Structure 1
Amino acid sequence: MSADRATSFGSEAENYEAGRPEYPFEAVAWMLERMPQGARRIADVGAGTGKLTRVIRQAPDAEVVAVDPDPEMLAALRRSVPGIPTFQGSAEHMPVPDASLDAVTLGQAWHWVDPLAASVELGRVVRTGGVLGLIWNIRDERVEWVRRLTDIMHSSPAENMVNGPESEGPRIAEPFGEVETQRWEWNRAMTRAQLHRMALSRSYLITAPVEERTEIIRHMDALFDELGLEGEGTIDLPYVTHVFRAVRG
């Protein structure tokens, strides 16, 4: 998996914040509900611009910190979610002490990590009985125009891991136990401009040559023309939120 793609998002932080969807609160609540009673220390890893961080912060008494390898993304997070402590780091290299957390979450991020090394390192910082939660918003390609959109933009590592034809889901290793999973289906109304910003926040387009990026945008516009999507008009983009959780033994 390309390291350039994994660390490319900072240059498009504004498009990431504008174009990527939020996470359903119910899905995030389910991801964290197996935390021990009274637990509240949570690290959002690969936090990006804070899409997941801001939902976690809604939990009662939550003490949330954000961790990301990209300082540009952390700067965007501090603007979008003021008051959250931020640290540069990754799932494989956490900047926190042993057994100092009740939960670690990763939104749209586990497909960029080494699952074995990350499981060991997160097992170091999560106390016994704590939770590792993984969540992805994936476009629902059972809808024909959405499938065509993905063909134009190219699939992502996340889509292949979570929803690919041969996918077995994310790999989580010891000291975490059995992986539980749930999914939520919902729609997000989007304008043509928002769809373009979503596409421009994707690692494939960020790292593509200018000529290829221009061609992708041209094909997207042809699809939107066919759908009659103009100006401030919107179309419902269907999503499936896939959630996984595992308790540290």
Structure 2
Amino acid sequence: MAESSDTVKDLQAASFGAAAGEYERGRPTYPAEAVAWLVPETARRVVDLGAGTGKLTRALAAPGRELLAVEPSAGMRAEFARVLPRVPVLAGTGEALPPPDGWADALVCGQAWHWVDPDRAVPEAARVLAPGGQLGLVWNFRDEAEPWVAELDGLLRARGEDRTDHRQLERLEPWFGPLEEHVVRWSHPVTEQQLVDMVASRSYVITMAADERERLLGEVRALVARARPTSLPYVTHCYRARRR
């Protein structure tokens, strides 16, 4: 019997700890322009939800700012603690956040909001934020305007890659004010191995059968060997809204 889409999503969401090393090596950071737009300069307490291995957390650091990472995967938390030992990382989800009411001036979620149940996560984010606090959501998308990137994305879509569904962003009301959007185009320096690690860290790749995963990674290695890229272009979509 085929698994339901919700079951598959749950399995994929829980899979990241098995590839925490690949995630750390292969996933990009976030551009400074995006981070500055997502988090007010005056924010002193910032929660990074779905922090993973701390890719966004590192970009959030600022003098006088207190950071708290929240990550559901034990494997990812272990890798986070290895690379960012001075930043506290707690177990938690978008539906059950550890901080007390009104603790944060800003809450950000990088590459992870599509995993939450917005009916529960939106009021939970509002609970944690101080009045007027800011919710920031961000996704890095590979820029298919580059031909070799379009070829790579074709390989991944054929195996189950799906662009993030942003429709649940419409469900921030009545807890938050109007949603704003900002787009940043940039390039992330990469090696050929880092590109392979980036693919290996995707949830649908982690949960593949071993032989299928190796076939895909072999095709990716062949592609990057031909293209010989030194950077990967991204289009970063940023969204923010103020707590009412």
**1:241 corresponds to 2:236:** yes
Q: Identity of aligned pairs, percent?
A: 43
Residue 30 (structure 1) aligned with residue 37 (structure 2): yes
Contact residue 31 and residue 244 of structure 1 kept, 8 A: yes
1:53 aligns with 2:57: yes
CA distance in 1, matches of 2:219, 2:89: 38
1:171 is aligned with what amino acid?
A: E
- Given that 1:43 and 1:67 are in contact with CA atoms closer than 8 Å, whether structure 2 keeps it comes out as yes
CA separation in 2, counterparts of 1:171 and 1:84?
32
Q: CA deviation at 1:66?
A: 0.5
Q: Whole-Å Cα distance in 2 between the matches of residues 39 and 196 of structure 1?
A: 36
| Aligned residue number for residue 177 of structure 1 | 177
Structure 2, unaligned stretches of length 5 or more? 1-5
Deviating runs (4+, > 4 A) in structure 1? none
Amino acid at match of 1:144: P
CA deviation profile, 1:4-53 (whole Å, cap 9, x unmatched): 101211111111011001111121011012x7xx5411110100000011
Task: State the alpha-carbon separation in 2 of the partners of residues 240 and 202 from structure 1.
Answer: 18
In the alignment, the residues of structure 1 paired with residue 170 and residue 151 of structure 2 have an alpha-carbon distance, to the nearest angstrom, of 29
Partners of 1:12 and 1:211 in 2: CA distance: 17
CA contact (8 A) 2:189 2:232 kept: yes
Out of 64, 79, 82, the position equivalent to 1:79 is 82
Give the SS at the match of 2:164. Answer: helix
The alpha-carbon deviation at position 195 of structure 1 amounts to: 0.7
Residue type matched to 2:236 in 1? T
Compute the RMSD of aligned alpha carbons.
1.7
Assess if the C-alpha contact under 8 Å between 2:191 and 2:231 holds in 1. Answer: no
Counterparts of 1:118-157 in structure 2, within 5 Å, are 118-154=121-157, 156-157=161-162
TM-score (ref. length: structure 1): 0.88
After superposition, residues 223-242 of structure 1 pair within 5 angstroms as 223-227=223-227, 229=228, 234-242=229-237
Q: 1:153 touches 1:205 (CA, 8 Å); kept in 2? A: no
Q: Are the counterparts in 2 of residues 39 and 102 from structure 1 also a CA contact under 8 Å?
A: yes
Whether the aligned pair in 2 keeps the contact of 1:190 and 1:236 (CA below 8 Å) is yes
Give the Cα–Cα distance (whole angstroms) in 2 for the partners of residues 25 and 223 of structure 1.
30
Give the Cα separation in 2 of the matches to 1:39 and 1:67.
18
Shift of residue 206 of structure 1? 0.2
Deviations 1:107-138 (A, max 9, x none): 10001111221101111111110000011111
Q: 2: CA distance between counterparts of 1:77 and 1:198?
A: 17
2:185–2:234 CA contact under 8 A, matched in 1 = yes
Counterpart for residue 70 of structure 1: 73
Deviation at 1:169, TM superposition (A): 7.4
C-alpha separation between the residues in 1 aligned to 2:181 and 2:161?
21
Tell me the amino acid that sits aligned with residue 185 of structure 1.
Answer: R
> In structure 2, do the counterparts of structure 1 residues 225 and 73 end up closer, same or farther at CA, with 3 Å as the change threshold?
closer
How many residues end up aligned between the 2 structures?
Answer: 234
Cα deviations across residues 163-199 of structure 1 (Å, max 9, x unaligned)?
xxxxx57334130111111111111232221111111
1:51 is aligned with what amino acid? Answer: K
Query: 1:92-103 maps to which residues of 2 (within 5 A)?
Result: 92-103=95-106
| Partner Cα separation in structure 2 for residue 39 and residue 235 of structure 1 | 35
Which residue in 2 is equivalent to 1:165?
Answer: none
Distance 1:236 1:101 in 2: 35
